[in-house]
Chain A
């Protein structure tokens, strides 16, 4: 990989506060985006059609197959280069501003293959070869991340990192083999992140860029002002949904206000009172990682939320604000009693997530208002928290049902003091099962209480039949998931995860005593 050229010092025009074009690091150089490029041009089309770089492939044009996987580079908080695999087909080029873009052409050539590529050849990891560049990019991100950290991924971690890459030929065994072997191959010349970091740092001081139809404020104040002035503008975060509006529905979009350049929105922190604050711009990957660190039982839903590239691009704020009834964040956050921080202009208000949704894809956000953060209070003592996801495929599949379940016991250690049972896929919005909750509160956690609560679920929800599941299955499995919760958390002879889930991983969870 050649050294990126450090961009020229800020021009007189920039110094004078005039708009500057979108800039990013690509092919070892800092490039400026042609202002005639449509704001919604995908990184994939830009690469293939505008740059003639055809190594990156289009398989589905909706972020579900991974043939277009590229890697984005940012300066991490610790000053290192953070690499994130993302789907180029649903990323808009202007969102690359201030970042580095790596494609398969950057990794190695047929005559000088990178260890990732050599391992793929040696393990027979390609057959038709069409998904291969995307797989190489996912593995490259894994390789460089572990090389920098001096660690090695397990086979399981490799499979998780490849959750967004479909291969129809190999059955994946040789690809996972390649992921293990790539660390054993001596690189001809290691990837040196320093020139890229230098180029990124040189751009970091730039003010906001201007691109027709595209705004990328750098601060929350700028964002608030912009949205107040243009309430009809569309907030753009990870574009994992909006990308499809463009690619598949040809929707005409208003001006885009990109929140990805607002650093403060990406913060994830724990306040002194134990509240976990997830900035609305934090990636799904970092947000779920923080949640799963606090509640290990969330790991399954974390790792099954979309795919790694979608989690790297998408934001938890976007998932919550978008408000799809089948988004997996809301049921979990609702069970955790999360509060949303909403801002419009200078006004900041806090709204409980429970009640935020007013109808199918409808919520309490006012025109010009945006979601700034998600606040998750510490769980009360003697609380059991579980999240269960049901889908046809383990990885990257939209839930038929997703459950966030929290039970809190009273001081006597036997009576259920509070129950928060939230479900996605059961109604027009993610919603709590009020009847089932009421059936449990004040009761001891017995099989009789379970059966009453299960029966109440049938009154709480009237789910629909669609391509993912029938109404009957949805209700049945919801009732059965409550039974799984009981089996895992009942006072007498609770069962470990490995006895109630086929996906339990060895050493997954510390046994959690409810009392």
Chain B
């Protein structure tokens, strides 16, 4: 039993002070930091294996498109260590793991859809035996090749889509473009991006009594894993429990696409009545799962003499891959972010999710938002160059207004616009104008190396674009010793969600952070949860956990008022701070009060629930109020480009990002910085290459797919938070931070474009493709040189 003396001595002393320090709003390390650095934070593969555990590996399609005729199962079964081989027909329930559209088989059944599609699963005594057997896939799979569609352009030309085309239209775009003083047409492309979570996909299925199944799974969406596993097993959801303590990174790649692995492990475990682990090798992970969609754009805009956009029409074609997965919602978000920070009076947007014989592309931090905003940033940058104006001036000219020019193309008013003050503060801090002049002077005397500078803004809508997903649940349990256990529907993938939720609960109960612990996410505790995605983790789960904690606190307050406050004492006047409960002149240690409440039979635990208010979205008209609020940010980047080789280096970055009132500034800075470098990698070095004939993804491991390293961190990297409370009643007036800063490194890409355009005296728009690899940059340099020479040669 607990006693008041169990409290740290300084807790009582601290209570004497006027106000105990708040738990929220303060930087503190990630709740698992000490475990991380000691290698003592277990991930799914680190859990002790039960005796008798078997290991699965997947046999992958050797064809991008084909008719599956059969698999030589007997040959596989005869291999050393092999216990079983599973085909689609062996799945007792539905052979389906699609997230929204049911078009995603777990194992191939009849048609081979991409090179790398799982066709069979080998279950063996060791992981190595399973992998060795599965590696024989091309020898044991009998199939007839069919012609594949390997690019979004080819699929678009063939009219092959995974979901119907989408159109988001306001006003008369064509008329506005045609009557504008200037017209601009641009065709360009933007590459995809692999999540490259350091911990690969993994599921460990453990059969339970009565046909039940427990799955330890590295996933951002335990509830969906539960439902899909139940379908695959032909069992009700209550028979399946999915648990995830932590992921070694997710970034969207474990939102829907952890399902295939969870389902295979569970089906094999159920069939063999033995625990089965499926941990895919990195190369297979690349070949099986999808990633950020690459996009192809065709844009036409009309603008005035100063660069104001008067009308715009854009066609975006994404590479969806072989199935719908989340491509529809990704395209929706892309269309809803084509405006980014800019007022587009008349606009028509058309989105096509091209069905290709490649991996099914999926969520990745930003979820289409970056792809949408990249298009308009390219447009604004090009308008500025054609008018000979500074791109920042043209950007500011087009910013959303405060009183007018402030409604998004999808009909939601922008009510929390802080673009001007934020960008103004950043431009001043980073000495944008002075550096512009310095760079011009440098470029004038540097024949080989050219510098470039760009400032780009971000406006990002926060909430799932699907209204019903914006809900969350939590459980808060207070034990009689005053310690607190929290469970919520969100998952921990490194972003610090559990730290923030524990801070919120500690704040609500007035206890030290250390008194609160978050447990593994568990479908048996909080049901029907949404994915930890769309940056909503702490917005939703923080509010739900706060609700639960508040219920417990109110019960404790009522009890304390009655016991210590005397007749008529207002329970709302009971204060909970620093582990001490104050009732008038009485001060009681939190643990002591809890113990007394327990003895008085007060319920010390509660559920909590939250549903984001005020959202509306019509999928047909693509109009409504899909976002609770917007998050803003901006960054200035300076780069140095080698015009002989196309190499570049990012010299300096200054960023200012809006997280409302930060719940934990250190974690938020970490999110902004991490997103910046991740987005910079996407736009500069991370290049996906598929074989043009076979459809094999050639960049399927870190040896060939390069994400940034420590030497890519800019020497000057100054990231700060824009400290202003969220006008909306979000959790402690904070703002979501996971995705929006991924758009900040647009400034790097456009600084490179600026440097390349210096080759031609900023008169020619560089046709720079993303990612801006050395080859892409050199190609743009040569194009600018050629166009400049042609202009000079013209009479």
Contacts and interface: CB of A to CB of B under 8 A. Distances in A.
Interface string B695-720: 00011011110111111110001010
Nearest to B639: A502
A172 interface: yes
Interface stretch (A102-110, A333-341, A430-438, A444-452): A102-110
A40 to B, nearest CB: 10
Contacts of A166: 196, 198, 702, 707, 709
A46 interface: no
B45 A502 contact: no
B198 A59 contact: yes
A483 interface: yes
Contacts of A466: 698
Interface in A101-143: 103-105, 107-110, 113, 116-117, 120-122, 124-133, 136
Nearest to B773: A392
A65 B709 contact: no
Contact of B448 (A158, A163, A487): A487
Contacts of B666: 124
B251 interface: yes
Contacts of B283: 248
Contact of A124 (B135, B649, B670): B670
Contacts of A125: 37
A67, A122, A477 — most chain B CB neighbours (10 Å): A477
B132 interface: yes
> Looking at chain A, what size class is its interface with the partner chain?
35 or more
Nearest to B679: A171
Given A121-B33, A127-B670, A173 B717 contact: yes
A110 B247 CA distance: 19
Interface stretch (B267-275, B379-387, B488-496, B510-518): B488-496
Contacts of B496: 127
A245 interface: no
A168 B713 contact: no
Interface stretch (B101-109, B158-166, B181-189, B640-648): B640-648
Interface stretch (A50-58, A72-80, A229-237, A358-366): A50-58
A500 B448 contact: yes
B38 A55 contact: yes
B393 interface: no
B648 to A, nearest CB: 6
Interface string B6-49: 00000000000000000000010110111111111111011010
Given A170-B670, A500-B644, A117 B37 contact: yes
Contact of A128 (B45, B198, B711): B198
A117 B36 CA distance: 9
B40 A128 contact: no
Contact of B702 (A64, A158, A163): A64
Nearest to A159: B710
Interface stretch (A347-355, A414-422, A456-464, A468-476): A468-476
B778 A392 contact: no
Contact of A393 (B43, B673, B706): B706
B611 interface: no
A515 to B, nearest CB: 22
Nearest to B648: A502
Contact of A113 (B38, B135, B701): B38
Contacts of B495: 127
A89 to B, nearest CB: 10
B687 interface: yes
B281 interface: yes
B707 A64 contact: no
Nearest to B690: A467
B199 interface: yes
B82 to A, nearest CB: 14
A165 interface: yes
Interface residues of B, number: 88
Nearest to A495: B448
A163 B675 CA distance: 20
B122 to A, nearest CB: 13
Given A110-B38, A127-B495, A390-B647, A171 B673 contact: yes
Interface in A171-215: 171-176
B35 A165 contact: no
Given A54-B42, A172-B709, A484 B32 contact: no
A119 to B, nearest CB: 9
Contacts of B29: 121-122, 124
B594 to A, nearest CB: 27
Given A168-B678, A250-B132, A162 B709 contact: yes
Contacts of A395: 709-712
B351 to A, nearest CB: 28
Nearest to B671: A127
A131 B670 contact: no
Given A65-B702, A163-B711, A171 B678 contact: yes
A170 B249 CA distance: 11
Nearest to B704: A467
B550 interface: no
A157 to B, nearest CB: 11
A270 interface: no
A54 B131 CA distance: 21
A394 interface: yes
Interface string B622-664: 0000000000000000001110111111000000000000000
The B interface is mostly helix, strand or loop, or mixed, namely: loop
A489 B447 CA distance: 16
Contact of A170 (B46, B648, B649, B674): B674
A60 B704 CA distance: 12
B4 interface: no
A508 interface: no
Interface in B471-501: 493-496
A266 to B, nearest CB: 27
A103 B640 CA distance: 39
A127 B674 contact: yes
B674 A390 contact: no
Given A61-B281, A121-B34, A133-B39, A128 B687 contact: no
A160 interface: yes
B214 to A, nearest CB: 20
Contacts of B135: 250
B494 A127 contact: yes
Given A60-B701, A170-B670, A392 B644 contact: no
Interface in A361-409: 388, 390-398, 400
A67 B198 contact: yes
A129 B36 contact: yes
A499 interface: yes
B449 A129 contact: no
26 contacts: A59-B702, A62-B703, A64-B701, A104-B38, A108-B37, A113-B34, A117-B38, A120-B37, A124-B29, A126-B494, A127-B496, A127-B670, A129-B494, A130-B197, A171-B678, A172-B712, A173-B717, A250-B131, A250-B135, A392-B774, A394-B709, A395-B711, A477-B646, A480-B778, A500-B448, A500-B449
Given A65-B702, A174-B673, A483-B644, 18 more contacts: A64-B702, A64-B703, A107-B38, A124-B27, A127-B494, A128-B246, A130-B43, A132-B39, A171-B717, A172-B710, A173-B719, A250-B135, A388-B645, A390-B647, A477-B644, A484-B644, A487-B448, A502-B647
Interface of A: 48, 52, 54-62, 64-65, 67, 103-105, 107-110, 113, 116-117, 120-122, 124-133, 136, 158-160, 162-163, 165-176, 248, 250, 388, 390-398, 400, 466-470, 473, 476-477, 480-481, 483-484, 487, 495, 499-503
In order of increasing CB-CB distance, the 10 nearest A-B pairs are A55-B39, A128-B494, A130-B248, A129-B36, A171-B677, A104-B39, A127-B494, A64-B702, A54-B46, A117-B37
Interface of B: 27, 29-30, 32-43, 45-46, 48, 131-132, 135, 195-200, 246-251, 281-283, 446-449, 493-496, 640-642, 644-649, 666-667, 669-670, 673-678, 685, 687, 689, 698-699, 701-704, 706-713, 717, 719, 773-775, 778-779, 782
